[in-house]
Amino acid sequence: MPSALNPEAGLSAPGRSGGLRDVYRNRFLLKLLVRKEIKVRYRGSALGIVWSYMKPGLQFLVFYVALGLFLNVQGSTPNYPIYLFAGIVLVNFFTEALGNATRSIVGNRDLIRKIYLPRELFPVASVWVSAAHFLPQVLILVVVCLFFGWLPTVWSVLALVAAFAIVAVLAVGLGLFFGAVNVYFRDSENLVDLLIMMVTWASPVLYLWSQVQHVLGPAFAAYQLNPMTVGVEVFHWAFWRPTLDGGQLTAAAAAEVPGLFTLWLPLAAVVTLLILGLGQWVFARLSVKFAQEL
């Protein structure tokens, strides 16, 4: 606390960032930003939040018809619609969160130039908005799985939470990085759009991991180091695998990655935290001149 002998004790320089700690300290502002983002996004829209279900629904329909029916992937993957939709739901959460977080600083330029707020609030708020769209989609997935005999267990719930946490933290880390760089180099938006196009195909959403292992061989470990790959595989373990029965469990055993929870999930958590740390470091370095650059 300030004192008569040292009046500056306990004070910090105005505008000095406390990193992600400031997001926690300003939870009320975070809630306001999330509400504002949702209202602005659907202002003047007749369907409102229903649009957030149009993209995954259309993606599912196109991929299922093209791959499941035309290429007969469902012939080798039991309950392929559940397998496909579970992957699409998680990947769409990540791609929406990353895309919005990348544009969050530039998109809020007027607010940033007028007053000081912890800059990290904007990318984190974008991820929270995407989570608000993600949860109802998960509820739809749960209802569908229940019709196929899915029964939640403590382990499946913990697996879902772990997969969501890894993907959300990954989106925050990359969102901080690209959101900061995008202020100086607007080409970052185009780069992120390319990455978003690749995510669906770079993770086992449309195919089984065993098909990748067959092609990559020893390089398969590099594929598994992608946190999105592990997140999707955990999602499949929690939702898709319990819907199988009888002979279908043989396919499930083949589709379950060895060491998924003992090796790859911890490694994915470590990689995600490293990306978060890098994103926060770059953001802190570049955020000093956001107002001038914007």
pLDDT band at 9 (very low <50, low <70, confident <90, very high): very low
In one-letter notation, the amino acid at residue 17 is: S
The closest alpha carbon to 126, from 193, 45, 191, 38, belongs to 38
Mean pLDDT calculated for residue range 242-270: 79
Residue 246 lies in a domain: yes
Of the two residues 118 and 16, the one the predictor is more confident about is 118
| Alpha-carbon gap, residue 52 to 135, rounded angstroms | 11
**Per-residue pLDDT tens for 37-85?**
887 777 766 666 777 777 788 888 888 888 888 888 887 788 889 999 9
pLDDT at 228: 95
- Cα distances (angstroms) measured from residue 65 to each of 58, 84, 183, 294: 11, 11, 40, 45
Q: How many domains does the chain have?
A: 1
Q: Which tokens is 288 given?
A: 């000093």
- With a cut of 50, say whether residue 141 has pLDDT above it: yes
| Alpha-carbon gap, residue 43 to 29, rounded angstroms | 21
How large is the greatest C-alpha to C-alpha distance in the chain, in angstroms? 79
| Alpha-carbon gap, residue 64 to 193, rounded angstroms | 23
Domain region containing 85: 20-39+48-293
- With a cut of 80, say whether residue 246 has pLDDT above it: no
Residue 114 lies in a domain: yes
Of the two residues 186 and 247, the one the predictor is more confident about is 186
| Cβ within 8 Å of residue 196, ≥6 positions away | 95, 98, 99
Residue 242 lies in a domain: yes
| Alpha-carbon gap, residue 102 to 177, rounded angstroms | 8
The closest alpha carbon to 181, from 252, 220, 173, 124, belongs to 173
What CA dihedral angle connects 138, 140, 142 and 144, to 10 degrees? -140
pLDDT at 248: 65
DSSP string, 69-87: IIS-GGGTSTTHHHHHHHH
pLDDT band at 180 (very low <50, low <70, confident <90, very high): very high
Residue 162 lies in a domain: yes
Residue 65 lies in a domain: yes
- Axis-axis angle for helices 187-202, 80-107 (nearest 10): 170
Residue 121 lies in a domain: yes
DSSP 257: P
The closest alpha carbon to 242, from 229, 255, 231, 224, belongs to 255
Q: Which tokens is 69 given?
A: 């029916």
Of the two residues 44 and 201, the one the predictor is more confident about is 201
The share of the chain scoring above pLDDT 90, in percent, equals 40
Residue 68 lies in a domain: yes
Helix/strand/coil for 108: coil
- Cα distances (angstroms) measured from residue 195 to each of 12, 190, 198: 39, 9, 5
| Cβ within 8 Å of residue 122, ≥6 positions away | 33, 101, 104, 105, 107, 108, 112, 179
Residue 193 lies in a domain: yes
Q: Which helix H or strand E contains 193, and what residues bound it?
A: helix 187-202
| Alpha-carbon gap, residue 68 to 61, rounded angstroms | 10
